[in-house]
Amino acid sequence: MVADEPTIKQLSVITGISIPVLILLLGLLLPFEGKHNKAYVDPVGVVTICIGHTATAKAGQYKTDAQCYQLLAKDLEDGTKAINNYVKVPLSNHLEAALRSFIFNVGSENFRKSTLLKKLNNTDYLGACAELEKWIKATDRNTKQVKILKGLVNRRAAERNMCEAGL
């Protein structure tokens, strides 16, 4: 389910993310987000479409593959801004991909306020990578119940492995 080479090149140009980082990032995003051309409701009640896009998703909506990758490019901008504005230390490709996946999932504001970022900017790379596995809970939009999601447990483990591979 990885994007084809022309799509990766186009995404790299639009987002400013290097091709090596983008390939690593898609390797994290696609298995966990999937690509769903038809909108669906995720495990915590959020209407989602394409590759984890929620901002404008509506029940019953359908998007083409090209539209899905356009939405992905727009959604990845949040991570670019967050990394440019908040990260003060050098990042390897693997570490950057792990952070981008994390920010894509939790948002830049949660990243900005995180212990993960504090540890990262204090050059505690291993400590920052370990922080990823703490982010495994989500609040159900309907019941307001906070739950540990198996998908988040698996995603954070993959992000941590990617993060540590870059050290």
pLDDT reported for residue 3: 81
As annotated, the active-site residues are 33, 42
Q: What does the alpha-carbon distance between residue 64 and residue 44 come to, in Å, rounded to a whole number? A: 25
Residues in contact with 19: Cβ distance below 8 Å, sequence separation at least 6, in sequence order = 8, 9, 12
Residue 28 pLDDT greater than 50, yes or no: yes
What CATH architecture is 5-165? Orthogonal Bundle (1.10)
**pLDDT, tens digit (0-9, with 9 covering 90-100), for 53-90:** 999 999 999 999 999 999 999 999 999 999 999 999 99
What pLDDT shows up at residue 4?
87
Q: Are 164 and 129 in contact (CB under 8 A)?
A: yes
Q: What mean pLDDT do residues 100-116 have?
A: 97
* pLDDT tens-digit map of 111-134: 999 999 999 999 999 999 999 999
